[in-house]
Every structure is written in C-alpha cells, then in structure tokens.
Amino acid sequence: MTSVRFRDYLKIHAVIPISGRRSDSSSNMKKAKNLKKRIRRLEARMQKGAKKLARLKRKLEAAETVSAAKSTNKATAPAAKPAAVKEPRVAKKVKRKLNLTPERRAQLAAAMRGRWAAKRAAAATNTQKISSGPDPSSGDAFQPR
C-alpha cells in the first residue's frame, strides 16, 4: 500500500469505536494526532530507504565500471604465468611451556651443554679422519690387482 493510499485510508477510518467506551472528541484528536505522527515517520522512513537504495545503485555502477576497466587492462596486458598451487598449511604444534623449578632448569641446561660438547667433539674427530685420508695400513683401502 502506498503512503498516499494509506493516508487516505487513515482519514476515512481515523477513529475506530471500541465497545464499552465513549468516543470523546479529545480521544479522537489524540488518535488522529498519533496517526499523523505515525504517517510522518513512515514517510520519512520510506524516503530514507529510497535514498539508501539510490546510493547502493550508484555504488554498484561504480564497481561495475571499475571491474570493466580492469578486464580491458587484463586483456591488453601480456598473459601472466599461472600461479603455483599452494598446499594447505598445516598448523604448527603448540609448544608446551614446561613448569620447571630453577634447579631442574639448571640441571637440564648442564645436560644439554654436555650433549652439545660431545657432538662438537665427534664432529671434530670426523673432520680430522676425513682430512688425513684413508689409512693405508687398514684393510679398507683400495688395492689394485
């Protein structure tokens, strides 16, 4: 129902008699006043809606022109390489925080330092063996026939 037809309807049926009550002119005026206020608010809301609709349509047109311009630019641009398919990333495991006492932390640190020192020593002996070459006295060396 359009606002004009609605207003005409309200003018015709401005006062609805309720059984058991007397129709006073003051109550009729209050009802008419409230109805007029409602009509005014409804018309304002409808106008606001129309403005919003117009604004959205303008935005849509602007977006379409931008996308059309981009498509023409892409058509004139040289063909780009297809993007490499990215594998889905696996979430990293959450590192647990250890609840260590300071004494236990120091103990673990000392143990790790010992491991690292042993690892460095083993690496150093391996590099010395490799740099000196194979030992001719051992049976591992290549012997021509």
pLDDT number for residue 141: 52
Neighbour-count burial for 69-104, b at 16+ CB within 10 Å, e otherwise: eeeeeeeeeeeeeeeeeeeeeeeeeeeeeeeeeeee
Global confidence as pTM? 0.29
Residue with tokens 């935005």: 59
pLDDT in tens, 14-68: 655 555 555 556 667 788 888 889 999 999 999 988 888 999 899 999 888 888 8
d(CA 52, CA 35): 25
